[in-house]
Amino acid sequence: MPRPRKDLSSFRQQLVDLLGDAHDASVENEIFREMLYNIGKLQNEKLDVLELRLLSTAFAELRYALSVFKPYRGIPKAAVFGSARLKGDHADYKIATDFGKKLAKKGWMIITGGAAGIMEAAMIGAGAKNSFGLNILLPFEQQANPTIRGNAKLVFFKYFFTRKLMFLKESEATVLFPGGFGTFDEGFESFTLVQTGKARPRPLLLVDRPKSLFWKDTISFFDRHMKKGGLISPSDLSLMRHFQDADKAVEEITGFYRNYHSSRFLKDQYLIRLKKPLAQAALVRINTTFKDILASGRFEPLDDFRGDDHADTTLYRLAFNFDRSGYARLRQLIDYLNTL
């Protein structure tokens, strides 16, 4: 059966309006024109139908998912991963429920894969109002759990890579409960991106039931074979924090943003935004304790931050020439800033 043709009349008019206003030099319109240019170039690439469908589907998935998240951008969110196979009587299921409930009480929302097990448990705890489901379409049917089923915040994806991108982009923390290959794939991709600086600093948590050996054995493996084998930097393991208590896990997430607000590269400098200004004594200590992550110069307050795209001018800015490699030490700097 042929696909129904979409009504493109409104799109054609938008296209004419966009391309016709050549004098509109706004950043948004420049990006629109660049996207249209790349679409036009596809006609010369001689891609086959499957390749074109991949590009079209990926673009459509991202466009729709971004529109779903947009109304909730001001609310912090945690991406929660874990096994879909655990039942309601399992201790890890129960701690995931407790975690979701306590994090929601702190004003956070959660994002899960929307399926059963740990994902369902965290959503039951947080409630449908505070939950997003990013469900993946698999050859075998993976039903959305009853808590999120039919919810406008449930998004379906064909591709894992678009789904994983949205998990990372729309969350401020990554939380892993015990799980299988999918949990490790999705969760440790976030860890790798933070470790390499491709994602901004964030809390990275491993959570399981009291007395469980699941994450203890995993961390022991990393320490014995990766750290001591010289496969990772000695401080890299400090990026992940292990908890067997829901209250402490929630405290770790909210505490990360106690003073730290956000960060970004601004030209050649790294910029940390803080909710409170630094006392001179604290600035002196930072320059002494964390000078190992400086490529040159010193840690300095940034008074002229007109180049920063963040609208909140009440935030304090700390700028420095970051060596772009010590991301575990950067996390330790953020921990210190949150104690002030």
The string of pLDDT tens digits covering residues 272-288 is 999 999 999 999 999 99
How far apart (Å, rounded) are the C-alpha atoms in residues 253 and 233?
A: 24
How far apart (Å, rounded) are the C-alpha atoms in residues 131 and 317?
A: 32
How far apart (Å, rounded) are the C-alpha atoms in residues 242 and 291?
A: 28
Delimit the domains of the chain by residue range: 71-256, 260-337
Confidence bin at 140 (pLDDT 50/70/90): low
Please tell me the pTM assigned to this model.
0.91
Beta strand 269-274 with 260-266 is antiparallel
- Residue 285's CB: how many other CB atoms inside 10 A? 15
Q: Which amino acid is at 110?
A: I
Token pair recorded at residue 270:
């790294």
Q: What is the DSSP string of 188-240?
A: HHHHHHHHTTSS----EEEE--TT--HHHHHHHHIIIIIITTTSS-TTGGGGE
How far apart (Å, rounded) are the C-alpha atoms in residues 122 and 112?
A: 8
Q: Name the fold adopted by 71-256.
A: Rossmann fold (3.40.50)
Confidence bin at 11 (pLDDT 50/70/90): low
The string of pLDDT tens digits covering residues 295-334 is 999 999 988 777 777 778 889 999 999 999 999 999 999 9
